[in-house]
């Protein structure tokens, strides 16, 4: 009931710490991998790219090594997805996880097949170590003669070096390309390929080729995985933390608005209206991306509300200085915006750089804070320069008197 009320009152995406979600457990078969740690790390990165392509989903992904005593060659990958209550929907959100491999034909393949027609691919083909782990990107190409779709593969430096070594040492042999356990092409190596590029041809449509390329670019897995379980997980903080955060934001906004109106008078009232616009625009942005809000993310948003006032304060203080010089209200406002712009620009750029660095290098929780803070800074700069300016010049009087100048002054200045 609490979660239903939360979803009704705050229709946004929230993190595991606030609303819980679903944990998916996968078994990774690392029995044929030399460097298990590297394979598991690569697997973790691939899955994270798939479920968190834009860095805003706030999943928790953990790789667990198998126990030494059990001797089990399998390792586990735990993927915790916030907000999902339907386990099947959570599995679908992970999408397909293609396994791309390049294998050489066993020299004794014919003898093995003759002896056992039901033999598996593993016994006929020899692993080369070249897998989707080394894939840099895939793209759809077309045969210039027939117009048939071709899947172009480009490996990273390590993959390109390994591909060059394989093609150099095994000229004349079959190098099978396997996707999800099925052989999709069995080309014969004609010569050494040094540029780290390969092509997959086959009898598939352009849409099928596009789907394969999409899956490969999302992340071809370095090792096979199998889903072995799923369970619902509860929120670590829950409704109280969310309600407390929202309450803190509302109280902070009210206190801030009262201060602006008492100290800056009419411009302070305009700034409060612009602050409402800022909050609405920020929330719309969070909804459209969509941003998954955690407790840290809410803290970043609440902090950005205070920072949103900085630009207005700079503008009002510059305007006050011009009014003291005896300038008309309209002229003082123009000068205030003009003189405050450089300071507003520099301070906001510094905040944006900080947010970018935190998002780039930080953990999942830090990324949530950095993202909401960065969005808040950008939106606040927009509202201060456009919304506040439009409102202020709309209410600025053309004919002045003592009362009007008092309303546009601030503090103890009349």
Could you tell me the domains of the chain?
21-96+222-233 (3.30.70.3400), 98-220 (3.30.1360.200), 239-408 (1.20.1640.10)
> What dihedral angle (degrees, nearest 10) is formed by the CA atoms of 324, 329, 334, 337?
60
224 neighbors 29 (Cβ within 8 angstroms): yes
Percent above pLDDT 90 for the chain:
6
Residues 17 and 241: beta-carbon distance below 8 Å = yes
Bridge-partner residues for 174, per DSSP?
A: 188
Q: Rg of the chain's alpha carbons, rounded to an integer?
A: 30
- The closest alpha carbon to 12, from 306, 298, 367, 303, belongs to 298
pLDDT score recorded for residue 219? 60
Confidence of residue 164 (pLDDT cuts 50, 70, 90): very high
With cut-offs at 50, 70 and 90, classify the pLDDT of residue 167: very high
Buried-exposed string 269-291: b where 16+ CB fall within 10 A, e elsewhere: bbbbebbebbbebbbebbeeeeb
Q: How confident is the model at residue 353 (pLDDT cuts 50, 70, 90)?
A: very high
pLDDT at 139 over 70: yes
pLDDT(1) > 80 = no
With beta carbons less than 8 A apart as the criterion, state whether 121 and 181 touch: yes
The pLDDT of residue 144: 85
Write down the pLDDT at residue 161. Answer: 93
Please identify which residue in the block is written with the tokens 């059990």: 70
Using the CB atoms, write b or e for 60-81: b if 16+ within 10 Å.
bbebeebeeeeeeebbbbebbb
Secondary structure class of 144 (helix, strand, coil): coil
Residue 6: pLDDT above 80? Answer: no
pLDDT at 97 over 70: no
Cβ atoms of 84 and 60 closer than 8 Å: no
At 165 the pLDDT is 94
pLDDT of 68 reads 45
Average pLDDT over residues 219-236: 78
Q: Which residue has the higher pLDDT, 377 or 222?
A: 377
Rounded CA separation 122/32 (Å) = 11
């Amino acid at each position: 009931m609490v979660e239903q009320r939360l979803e009704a009152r705050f229709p946004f995406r929230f993190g595991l710490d606030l609303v819980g979600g679903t944990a998916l457990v996968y078994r990774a078969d690392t029995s044929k991998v030399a460097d298990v740690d590297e394979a598991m790390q690569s697997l973790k990165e691939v899955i994270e790219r798939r479920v968190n392509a834009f860095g805003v989903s706030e999943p928790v992904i953990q790789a667990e090594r198998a126990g030494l005593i059990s001797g089990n060659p399998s390792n586990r990958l735990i993927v915790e997805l916030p907000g999902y209550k339907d386990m099947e929907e959570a599995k679908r959100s992970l999408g397909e996880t293609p396994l791309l491999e390049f294998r050489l034909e066993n020299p004794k393949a014919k003898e093995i097949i003759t002896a056992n027609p039901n033999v598996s691919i593993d016994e006929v083909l020899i692993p080369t170590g070249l897998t989707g782990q080394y894939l840099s990107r895939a793209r759809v190409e077309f045969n210039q003669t027939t117009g048939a779709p071709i899947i172009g593969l480009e490996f990273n430096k390590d993959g390109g070096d390994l591909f060059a070594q394989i093609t150099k040492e095994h000229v004349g042999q079959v190098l099978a390309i396997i996707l999800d356990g099925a052989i999709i092409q069995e080309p014969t190596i004609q010569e050494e390929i040094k540029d780290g590029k390969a092509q997959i041809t086959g009898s598939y449509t352009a849409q099928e080729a596009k789907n394969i390329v999409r899956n490969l670019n999302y992340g071809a897995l370095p090792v096979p995985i199998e889903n072995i379980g799923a369970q619902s997980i509860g929120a670590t903080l829950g409704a109280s933390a969310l309600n407390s955060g929202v309450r803190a934001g509302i109280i902070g906004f009210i206190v801030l608005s009262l201060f602006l109106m008492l100290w800056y008078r009419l411009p302070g009232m305009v700034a409060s209206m612009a602050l409402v616009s800022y909050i609405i625009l920020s929330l719309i942005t969070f909804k459209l991306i969509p941003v998954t809000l955690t407790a840290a993310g809410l803290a970043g948003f609440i902090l950005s509300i205070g920072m949103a006032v900085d630009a207005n304060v700079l503008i009002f203080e510059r305007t006050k200085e011009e009014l003291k010089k005896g300038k008309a209200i309209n002229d003082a406002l123009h000068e205030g915006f003009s003189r405050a712009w450089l300071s507003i620009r520099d301070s906001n750029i510094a905040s944006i750089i900080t947010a970018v660095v935190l998002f780039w290098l930080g953990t999942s929780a830090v990324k949530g804070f950095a993202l909401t803070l960065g969005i808040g800074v950008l939106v606040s700069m927009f509202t201060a320069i456009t919304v506040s300016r439009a409102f202020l010049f709309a209410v600025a009087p053309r004919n002045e008197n003592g009362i009007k100048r008092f309303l546009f002054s601030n503090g103890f200045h009349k």
